[in-house]
């Protein structure tokens, strides 16, 4: 699983060690094609675990690192507090909690299995983008359903601001998902 390894290995890079707190969470990858190349943007967010409630408070993403998919080399770091793609956002205010409703009843193992399945599908998507291949509609539907299940609703507005085209394509609004499933 190339994406899962990338998300683990990013913590070992000098750019991460210099600019991102080691304890930061890594959000869902955001694929991007530019100049005939494929890239993936990883958003980073702060969180605070509350053991008494068995939940984690999530904060808005504060930075991204974009990597070339084929070489895995970082090509861009963005401090979102400086660039501020959502001026109405309050960086100190919690965005929401995890686990969210769609995954709250899953065991840790079940969640990890579903997460790994989605990350494997990211591999397929990014490799297809690299080869200019079109994925089957059934595959796109399965990917979208998994993404919809796992994306934290409280962070969705931030994901959409960071990857408008990707999330418009693969993360239908919640009302559409409910109506079509």
Rounded CA separation 166/32 (Å): 8
Give residue-wise pLDDT tens across range 24-61: 999 999 999 999 999 999 999 999 999 998 899 999 99
Boundaries of domain holding 133: 2-180
Q: Residue 181's pLDDT is what?
A: 44
Give residue-wise pLDDT tens across range 116-167: 999 999 999 999 999 999 999 999 999 999 999 999 999 999 999 999 999 9
Q: Residue 68's pLDDT is what?
A: 98
Rounded CA separation 10/151 (Å): 20
Do 156 and 175 touch, CB atoms closer than 8 A?
A: no
Do 151 and 28 touch, CB atoms closer than 8 A?
A: yes
Number of domains in the chain: 1
Whether the per-residue pLDDT at 179 is higher than 50: the answer is: no
| E strands, the chain, in order | 25-26, 30-34, 37-50, 55-68, 74-79, 96-98
């Amino acid at each position: 699983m190339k994406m899962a390894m990338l998300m683990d290995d990013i913590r070992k890079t000098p750019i991460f060690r210099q600019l991102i707190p080691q304890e930061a969470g890594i959000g869902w990858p955001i694929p991007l094609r530019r100049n005939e190349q494929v890239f993936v943007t990883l958003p980073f967010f702060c969180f605070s675990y509350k053991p008494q409630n068995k939940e984690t408070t999530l904060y808005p993403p504060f930075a991204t690192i974009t990597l070339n998919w084929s070489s895995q080399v970082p090509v861009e770091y963005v401090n979102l507090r400086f660039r501020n793609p959502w001026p109405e956002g309050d960086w100190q205010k919690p965005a929401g909690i995890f686990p969210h409703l769609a995954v709250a009843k899953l065991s840790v193992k079940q969640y990890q299995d579903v997460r790994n399945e989605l990350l494997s599908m990211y591999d397929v998507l990014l490799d297809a983008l690299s080869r200019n291949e079109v994925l089957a509609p059934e595959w796109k539907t399965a990917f979208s359903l998994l993404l919809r299940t796992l994306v934290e609703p409280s962070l969705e507005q931030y994901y959409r601001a960071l990857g408008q085209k990707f999330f418009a394509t693969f993360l239908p609004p919640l009302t559409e998902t409910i109506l079509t499933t």
